[in-house]
Amino acid sequence: MLVHFVTDEPTKIPAIRAMLEPQYHVAPQLLGSGDTHFNPNSVLMVDADLRKAARVEQIKLVLRDLSCIPEKLFVVQSHLHHMVAQAFALGATAVVSRPREIILKLAQIEVAEKETQTDSAVASPEIAASAAAFASMFVAIRNGKPIDLSDADNATTQIINGIAQNGLGAWLDDVRRYHEGTFQHCLLVTGVAVGFALDLRFASVDVKRLGISATLHDIGKARIPLSILDKPGRLDPGEEEIMRRHPVIGYELLKDLTGVSPEVLDGVRHHHEYLDGSGYPDGLMAPQISDLVRLLTIADIFAALVELRAYRPAMSGQSAYKILCGMDGKLEQSLVRAFRNVALVT
């Protein structure tokens, strides 16, 4: 397998060759050299300092014409969380930090290529574009810059198109294969919400409204410390308390922006509310919870159950649906019953 290695430091080239060759053929390129000849049947690996604006711009130029390369690995030290977010904003399909992770990821890609000769092993353009939009919004917030709502609109449109063309099951499988952590959850929730709306035969404007609400529902997590957000295990009580602040943070980030509807703000702030008043942050009771929020909450819980996490495997759609059915009094059971067809395709 061919690995195109793009770097800002020539001293990194011998090290990566020593690590990967002869099992993989390494084709190195220095940023700024102007050489952009790439084989689409290859893997792109980028190792550069993403804290430098000039380097980021050079990488954008390199990546501009490389949509034909499905796998884009970025080498980033795991503790440099800003660089991790920047890598995904640039279009990374995976971020690796240690030699062992690099070898493991390349091996996984090689196995996937051998197992299938179809495009099903390649992240769809809709998923890549949506993940990049999520990353762009998170990076903007962490840098104290305004959110570009066109990113949310584009991500939602891509997800709607992907599910309408290929179905929800294929979408969820691809998301779990190619993304992890916060971005995986955002992609899954929006996909599940859109799939639910399409199954209910909502008008296109209502599908988009629910989809935008799902896309933005966790935007407040961009202000949660990354040590908590990216923790590989379960959160302790103190960390959980901090995490529970994200609905209000998201609401505050969006409430003064032109173009954010009251329905979307409601979804962002209240997607963790339950009909019996046991949810947060406002302890709303059933009469105070809108239909959009009731739909979004079901999608959010289901997505959390079926996503891959470091400390547990993904739950099957059938098992996750049983949990939803057991939440009588907290979730609208007529909607849960309507959700059955959606849940069981996963």
Tokens representing 275? Answer: 């009909």
268: nearest Cα among 242, 287, 245, 238: 245
What's phi and psi for 330, nearest 5 deg? -100, -40
What are the beta bridge partners of residue 45? 5, 73
Q: Name the residue among 286, 290, 289, 298 with its Cα closest to residue 324.
A: 298
List the structure tokens of 316.
């099957």
**Cβ atoms of 154 and 132 closer than 8 Å:** no
Q: Which helix (H) or strand (E) holds 44?
A: strand 42-47
Q: What is the pLDDT of residue 27?
A: 85
Question: With the C-alpha atoms ordered 330, 333, 335, 340, is the resulting torsion angle positive or negative?
Answer: positive
Q: Which two tokens stand for residue 178?
A: 């190619």
In one letter, which amino acid is 193?
A: A
- For position 128, what pLDDT does the model report? 78
State the chain's maximal CA–CA distance in angstroms.
66
- Give the torsion sign (CA, 247, 313, 91, 227): positive
pLDDT at 207: 97
Distance CA 346, CA 341 (A): 9
pLDDT in tens, the chain (346 residues): 788 889 999 999 988 888 887 777 888 888 877 665 666 678 889 999 898 888 898 888 888 767 678 888 999 876 677 788 888 888 888 888 887 788 888 877 776 766 554 444 456 777 877 887 887 888 788 778 888 899 899 899 999 998 998 899 988 888 877 666 677 888 999 999 999 999 999 999 999 999 999 999 999 998 988 778 767 678 899 999 999 999 999 999 999 999 999 999 999 999 999 999 999 999 999 999 999 999 999 999 999 999 876 666 778 999 999 999 999 999 999 999 999 999 987 6
Q: Which of 307, 309, 313, 291 is nearest to 346 (CA)?
A: 307
pLDDT in tens, 153-196: 989 999 999 899 889 998 888 887 766 667 788 899 999 999 99
pLDDT of residue 98: 80
What CA–CA distance (Å, rounded) separates 102 from 19?
A: 9
**pTM attached to this predicted model:** 0.68
Secondary-structure breakdown of the chain: helix, strand, coil percentages, each rounded to the nearest 5: 60, 10, 35
Burial tier of 98 (Cβ tally within 10 Å: 0-12, 13-18, 19+): exposed
Q: How high is the pLDDT of residue 233?
A: 74
pLDDT at position 119 is: 44
How far is 33 from 26, CA to CA, in rounded Å? 17
Q: What is the pLDDT of residue 249?
A: 97
Nearest-angstrom CA–CA distance, 341 and 215: 22
Residues facing 73 on adjacent strands = 45, 94
Task: Order across the sheet with 25-30: list the strands.
Answer: 25-30, 2-7, 42-47, 71-75, 94-96
- Residue 247, Cα to own-chain centre: how many angstroms? 18
